[in-house]
Amino acid sequence: MNKKKIIIVIILAVVAISIGLYTILPLFTNTIVDEPLPTASGMISGVLNDENLKQMH
């Protein structure tokens, strides 16, 4: 093999290994997010009813 083919094979190998690691590594991560879900307040839904929106226009 000449030099040009070896360089192309090395570049393709680096790209293939990078893509493989990018797709496989999240399967082995165990991160637990211990935060409460966000809650919506009743005040927002009361302000944005149809009558108030009609009065704005």
Q: Which amino acid is at 16?
A: A
Domain range list for the chain: 1-33
- Say whether 11 sits in a helix, a strand or coil: helix
Does the predicted TM-score (pTM) go above 0.95? Answer: no
Instruction: Round the CA-based radius of gyration of the chain to a whole number and report it.
Output: 27
pLDDT by residue (tens digit) across 10-57?
999 999 999 999 999 888 888 887 888 887 665 555 556 666 556 655
31 vs 2, 19, 34, 52, CA distance in Å? Answer: 46, 22, 10, 44
